[in-house]
Amino acid sequence: MGLASRGERIEEVRNGFSRAEFRNQGGVKSMLSIMRQGFVVGLIACFLVGSDACASGINAAFAPVANLMDGRVGALAFESVTPRQIMAYVRRQPMGRAVVTGMLSLPDQAKGPFPAVVILHGSSGVNPGEWMWAQRMNALGFASFVVDSFSGRQIVQTESDQTQLSMAADIADAFSALRLLATHPAIDSKRIAVMGFSRGGIAALYSSLEPFRKAVIQDGLRFAAHIAFYPSCGIHYVSNRLDGSPVLLLLGGKDDYTPAASCMAYADELKAKGAQLAVKVFPGAYHGFDRFASPHLVAQATSARLCHGWYDLDSGRFAMVNDSRVLFGSAAQLEARHCLSKGVTIGGDPDGREQSPALVASFLQSVFAGGR
């Protein structure tokens, strides 16, 4: 579930430096300014040639860091886990370790400690859209941390086969990123939000459930807000325990990849449990409405648009619905495979692309002002 697909991955190698090292090379702000100029050039080039060839990984030249107390920025590597089963992750059972990368950027014209936004990509990996949103966050005076969940795991894309990586891995990466950012002296640990797109939107949305948070974080550290662009809600996670942070859902009314109707129904369920949740639907928009590519068919993309079910994190029970029958156990697992379909429409929408930045900015400014 992502925008860019297929094609050659363009590796963007950017090193992480401590604050002292940045000073030796002309200063943190000047270096980040140069990096952002490169991002802009890359964005323009990708928009001109089409986004499908512009997915890019984040490579860090240094070993994984356990904390950011030295104030470093740039490309970073950090540890996470790769769950194979949802409940194994929730119950904190032993699982494979993973090295994940991310790009941390601080705003130029502001005084810290800054709010921060963790940015999670879709099924095609990190592409120009994530860098565009990172720049927007910096312009608002927020730090941005673009997380790459694929490169460290040797994955190119999951668009055609989501079984390559459990959705729980993206959620684990989000919380591992939160825990890491909270140690940075220039970042306010109480004002860190998460924003994700498609597959990343799934992680941004369901990270509002306490069982997922407590699988990684045992103290009171939590995301201050969750922003999910066009996540998948047909087969959703449920829990009676929420983190209490506000949630913003941005959906496309014509989305045939991750339909809005399922997420609107799920939003009602969360509200009934006391969630602070706002939903914005752009009626004429397809999946990826915030991007610049024209709507186009992605034939190989796998969608769960015809699937209806839930995974109860409190009981560990998985259920699917077929012809009004509720299935459990192996029957539910079989239905979860049979309900999948291929072929989706992805592309930008003028209203969604123009209005979503202001909606996100207003939402975050309100949340972060209350967290001071």
pLDDT-based confidence at 59, cuts 50/70/90? confident
Q: φ and ψ at 20, to 5 degrees?
A: -65, -40
How buried is 341 (Cβ within 10 angstroms: 0-12 exposed, 13-18 middle, 19+ buried)?
A: middle
pLDDT in tens, 154-203: 999 988 888 888 899 999 999 999 999 999 999 999 999 999 999 999 99
Q: Above 60 in pLDDT, residue 34?
A: no
Whether the CB-CB separation of 203 and 121 falls below 8 Å is answered with: no
CB 272 within 8 A of CB 325: no
97-126 confidence digits (pLDDT tens): 999 999 999 998 767 899 999 999 999 999
CA angle 259, 263, 267 (to 5 degrees): 165
- In the CATH scheme, what architecture does the domain 12-294+348-370 have? 3-Layer(aba) Sandwich (3.40)
Residue listed under structure tokens 């790769």: 82
Domain boundaries, the chain: 12-294+348-370
| Alpha helices by DSSP H, the chain | 19-24, 28-49, 86-90, 128-139, 167-181, 199-206, 210-214, 260-272, 329-338, 350-370
pLDDT of residue 177: 98
Residue of 246, 188, 248, 244 whose CA lies nearest to 213: 244
**CA 50 – CA 106 distance, rounded (Å):** 29
User: Which tens digits make up the pLDDT trace of 269-298?
Assistant: 999 999 999 999 999 999 999 999 999 999
